[in-house]
Amino acid sequence: MNDDVVAQILLRLPAKSVFRCRAVCRSWRRITTAAYFVAAHSRRRPLQLLGYTGPNDESLRDDEFLVTSAPVTAVPAVYDGDDTECRRFLRRNVRLCLRGSCDGLLLFERVNAESMLICNPATRQLVNLPPPQRRTCSFFAVTVGKTVGESVYWGRREVDDRSRIMAFDTVSERFRAVAPPPVEHADEGPLLDMDGTFAVAAMSAEPYLDVWASDGCGGERWGLVYDTKEKRMLSCSHRSRSNPWNAAYRESLITVKPRTPPLPPNSEPWLNFY
Amino acid sequence: MATGSGAAAAAADAEEKESGSRMITLTSNEGKAFVVTEASARQSATIRSMVDDGGCVDKGFPLPNVDSKTLARVIQYCDEHGNKEAHTVDERAALAKFDKDFIAELDADKAFLYDVTMAANYLHIQGLFALTTQCIADTIKGKTPEEIRTAFGIEYDLTAQDEEEIKEEDTHA
């Protein structure tokens, strides 16, 4: 049988069987590790939710966790903390810290081992990154930025408030600095992709979360679009309420919500970030 | 208005019936000719596109990659799916039963199953290809790499470097 037919057969297998097929022979190994196969296989699989055990587990450090996964269909609409449906995603208790994610891939740091690995949770494939050259870059410089549209963004690293957000344009292949939103660095939260608009969450008055969005060109102008304290959308400070960008953004927030688990009636909308 | 669209539909229906009743000749690599209805032959996307392109319908289609035994079995599938209706629940259940018996019989003769799979791939018969590949996949499921090699007569040719990588993957997964 030719490779195409073998690939079509192996695509029908669950991830665990595909994993075993990688150890059958060279041609099967070549087929099942090819990028097109991996992509096609994960498209066919049911969506998986990833979960992790946090500081509750006393054997773990605060920022360490074990990764588990469960098919979305197996997770009840209201999650009651019962993890019987979850499957431990990594077989051994490998101590890992999640350092970032990008396009469905997770970047983990191995605790106490000073090495990193990239993991595709859909296919359970893991790849070790080459060890960093400590002489020229610090270990934690290896981070995955937030991909929004055609740019990848990295949050401010320095504590200096004058520092800027770094962006890499994947089309022109150039780095550029982006002025951060007008919040203190210490309050700056995760970078968000709001349906193609680059946004930054900030917690200036805990426990309330503000969301600042850039003007859509990855540019220097920021608008406060959502705050959880007032629980309402705010108009952008630099544009009128009627401008199309603002309307589109408001819509994007609304369309984000149904992807989160169904909310009980009359509850407040909430934002979910990873 | 209603009469007009009704007449058009009737005309289209008649045309479809007419084209469906045409006969098409498929020739195996051993030169044996099989005459099938056009509806049956249209199960194959490869033949369908050749027919629609106004190809050599009268001269028939030589299939140099398919032997007579395999072609006969493939035509058995195409006849069932091409010539029978699948509109009612009963009709669909009958087809599902046919598929089940068809694949059970093939599954008993693995080499023949692979031949039919290759022919279904070559002729682009989507339903048959899905049926046979799923059957083979079910055989693989739950087997260890060693058992898979035995079942498919695959030679072990992994290099030391491959083995190292596999061991590495296995440690994490």
ipTM: 0.81
Which tops the pLDDT comparison, A72 or B144? B144
A77 touches chain B (CB under 8 A): no
Which tops the pLDDT comparison, A158 or B116? B116
Query: A264 lies in a domain?
Result: no
Query: A243 lies in a domain?
Result: yes
What is the reported pLDDT for A167?
78
Distance of residue B115 Cα from the nearest chain A Cα, in angstroms: 9
Residues A109 and A68 in one domain: yes
pLDDT of residue A78 exceeding 80, the answer is no
Tokens of B19: 């084209």
Query: A221 lies in a domain?
Result: yes
Strand partners of residue B61: B26
pLDDT of residue A58 exceeding 80, the answer is no
Q: What DSSP character marks residue A181?
A: P
Compute the distance between CA of residue A180 and CA of residue A82 in angstroms, rounded to an integer.
40
Residues A255 and A152 in one domain: yes
Confidence label for A6 from pLDDT (cuts 50, 70 and 90): very high
Compute the distance between CA of residue A100 and CA of residue A274 in angstroms, rounded to an integer.
9
- Going from the C-alpha of A176 to that of each of A152, A165, A166, B125, the distances in angstroms are 10, 9, 6, 52
Query: A272 lies in a domain?
Result: no
**A126 contacts B118? CB cut-off 8 A:** no
Tokens of A76: 């009840």
**Taking a contact as any Cβ pair under 8 Å apart, which residues of chain A between 22 and 41 contact chain B?**
22-26, 28-29
Distance of residue B107 Cα from the nearest chain A Cα, in angstroms: 15
Residues A204 and A237 in one domain: yes
Residues A130 and A80 in one domain: yes
Q: Residue B96 phi/psi, 5° resolution?
A: -60, -40
What is the reported pLDDT for A159?
55
Residues A101 and A155 in one domain: no
Q: Is the pTM of this model over 0.80?
A: no
* Tally of domains in chain A: 3
* Selection from A211, A108, A193 nearest residue A153 by Cα: A193
| Sheet of A146-148, strand order | A146-148, A151-154, A165-169, A174-178
Q: What DSSP character marks residue A65?
A: B
Lowest average pLDDT, out of A15-29, A55-69, A138-152, goes to A55-69
Strand partners of residue B25: B35
Task: Name which of A5, A19, A128 is nearest B173 (Cβ-Cβ).
Answer: A19
pLDDT tens for residues A82-140?
Answer: 444 445 555 445 566 666 666 667 777 776 666 777 777 666 667 777 665 544 433 33
Q: What is the mean pLDDT of chain A?
A: 63
Residues A179 and A103 in one domain: no
Last residue of some domain: A124, A140, A156? Answer: A140
Is B29 exposed, middle or buried (CB count within 10 Å of its CB: 0-12, 13-18, 19+)? middle
- Going from the C-alpha of A63 to that of each of A54, A59, A68, A108, B21, the distances in angstroms are 7, 12, 16, 12, 71
Domains and their CATH numbers in chain B: 22-141 (3.30.710.10)
Q: Residues A202, A187: contact at Cβ < 8 Å?
A: yes
Residues A226 and A170 in one domain: yes
Average pLDDT over residues B60-79: 90
Last residue of some domain: A121, A140, A159? Answer: A140
Residues A168 and A252 in one domain: yes
Distance of residue B10 Cα from the nearest chain A Cα, in angstroms: 41
pLDDT tens for residues B91-123?
Answer: 888 899 999 999 999 888 888 999 999 999 999
Average pLDDT over residues B56-75: 85
What is the reported pLDDT for A199?
80
Task: Name which of B137, B156, B159 is nearest A9 (Cβ-Cβ).
Answer: B137
Query: A270 lies in a domain?
Result: no
| Sheet of B33-37, strand order | B33-37, B23-27, B61-62
Query: A271 lies in a domain?
Result: no
* Selection from A93, A92, A138, A90 nearest residue A114 by Cα: A138
Query: A267 lies in a domain?
Result: no
Tokens of A272: 């979910």
Residues A150 and A254 in one domain: yes
Last residue of some domain: A113, A140, A167? Answer: A140
Residues A149 and A252 in one domain: yes
Specify the 3-state DSSP secondary structure of A134: coil
Q: Provide the residue range defining the domain that includes A99.
A: 48-140
A93 touches chain B (CB under 8 A): no
